[in-house]
Amino acid sequence: MLTKEELPECPVATTVQLIGSKWKLLILRNLLHRSWRFNELKKDLEGISQKVLTDSLRSMEADGLVTRTVYPEVPPRVEYALSELGENMRPIIASMEAWGKSYKENHPRF
């Protein structure tokens, strides 16, 4: 997790730094609906590599957006969910969804 001093001065740049990758946004989209296990996310996010998924989840956990819960079972079960801070991203993702839907509906080349 970056310190306040290490974050960009611009609030938009801070947000982009935290969730600006394609994969982080899609992970957030999935986690808005429910908790997911690693392999479920990997299967649902077509094209993501194991390394990128691992790195993205670790980064989002370190930034406080995602929680990782390990259940004491054999074999171990790990689930990822949005933290309270991550839940604050809900209106941002919802706005992006609405904008994308509107764009697709109102541009005839699609």
- Whether residue 5 lies inside any domain: the answer is no
Please tell me the predicted confidence (pLDDT) of residue 1.
67
Cβ atoms within 10 Å of 60's Cβ, excluding its own: 25
In whole angstroms, what is the distance from residue 85 CA to residue 76 CA?
A: 26
pLDDT in tens, 18-41: 888 889 999 999 999 999 999 999
> In the predicted model, is pLDDT for residue 110 greater than 60?
no
* pTM assigned to the model: 0.85
21 lies in a domain?
A: yes
CA-CA distance, 33 to 40, in Å (whole number)? 13
Does residue 3 have a pLDDT over 60?
yes
> Omega of the bond prior to 75 within 30 degrees of 0, cis?
yes
Q: Is 16 domain-assigned?
A: yes
Q: Residue 42 is part of a domain; what is its CATH number?
A: 1.10.10.10
Question: Distance between CA 97 and CA 93 in Å, rounded?
Answer: 6
pLDDT at position 7 is 79
Residue 72 lies in a domain: yes
The whole-number pLDDT of residue 62 equals 93
Tokens linked to 97 = 């969804």
Could you give the number of structural domains in the chain?
1
In a domain, 47, yes or no: yes
Q: Which domain holds residue 41?
A: 11-106
Summarised one tens digit per residue, pLDDT across range 35-90 is 999 999 999 999 999 999 999 999 999 999 999 999 998 888 999 999 999 999 99
Residue 108 has pLDDT above 80, yes or no: no
Domain membership of residue 2 (yes or no) is no
